[in-house]
Structure 1
């Protein structure tokens, strides 16, 4: 493959912006166009280091806007789409599911269909790629004894969020099988790292510790997640775009299964070490159990042996090293997260945690 002209949807969000910075550093000759609607979780500050790069363009708009998507594909001769744009927070999907269906299902359909027509115009080039970035939540919930999710695990989504992502996965798969559009699907476990919106577990705990606020833990805290450092996720996606097989699905995990309550305790220990003059110390005193989320999946675990075996990728960060890097970033960058704790965010927080 020669030069890639890359369209990154949702590139001002958490994983998307980390991926854009990673790709720009690693493939400096490629052109990157970011399309982002800048909803509450999209933040142009995430991309500030690239604003003067001649290889970077930002377009403010919605993936459901077909005319805009067609124009971007043509104007920038896009041959690769990395599709991150999604509503992704389970709690928000419980309160407003319609937004999730519009963005995750209709938006993905719009991108696939416009990219298909664009690809046909360009003689169905074998160099084209459509990477659809998805989640392990489409597979449903595991019991403690169950083996981890593989690419062949049947879909059983349990929230409006995971159902909308499952729908978008099925569309991406269907576009390969029906039209031979070179789509690849990745399903990842929970990401963490810099530029993560404060509603998500790790940044929420970190910021609340810095502010001396309660650390809300759902139910009994025994829910288990596999955690993937965002830098490892970016390197996996790079591998998939360049070496993955069209029509295939690859699971991407961090090999870091941990109970929520244990994760919160580790965060407290690290924060007590690295953060100067905390309002409450030890910060474990802030842990507060709250009413469980409706339909809360008990356990997720990813078996990423396929991508390791077939493409030679494996995660580099341990949970300890990834968490230290991440938490230090939040300690050092209050100017990034403080403006996000808006009145709207406070209302949402009160609605979820009471």
Structure 2
């Protein structure tokens, strides 16, 4: 019975040919697989009588060797055919095209802002996004009853007695405090980074956004130095055609304080919904560093003065690229991002 099976399958193996790899794989599974014919024959071999084991053992091993050799020969021939096909490939044909990525508009504007201030001698400083009360509020002259300390504005991680509060930073001014605490004047630095505020998400606001703040502390720094620095920044970023104005304002950490407006980039000052039909758009807050802030950081306010400013990168980008909805920056819509492909080169 076993001999008849071997004779039958021997003829099948000798006659087998394959033009494709999947046909050869089917042959391997049928004869050489863990549940294949040869495995089954070896199981039957266990029932053969002792006097026949020597004869059938030799025949069975020869049968297995025949199947393995046939498999390897056809595998080699199929491999040679594949190499020949590769050799016939025309290497002068163009390769497959691929789509070029793009940088995020916020990254483009952030880098441009940094480059402008670097040319003015400012260095880049960074700090943690999770801050304590001292660096985020108290050192910056925020009184305990200030609205910015309220849960509606700040994402608190740990709310304690006030001094031990831990929160997501609401501005990158905390980096200014760390710089002044750990160094000695003069300081000339900008602080780009992400900040968080508990606000309703809309076309004009988000719960997280990006800022660039600046600090210059030295002897005899004046408000005139601040104005000329920011005038230069606007001209470099938007061009010579835009008007600039300063309006008095209030910030706990600067005195005197001001807000800086530019003529609307969308309506060119004629009036639209972006500028609320005033022709002007506020782009940053600024002022002279309050003496209390300098003293809190261990700097002699009678010897040193300084100015600080802070701007939202989203607002700057809105005006530069005429983007009317703040939410587009964080939705990662490929159709929106593709508009900035040409800027990657």
Q: Under a length normalisation based on structure 1, what TM-score does the superposition of the two structures give? A: 0.24
* Larger Rg belongs to: 2
Q: Under a length normalisation based on structure 2, what TM-score does the superposition of the two structures give? A: 0.25
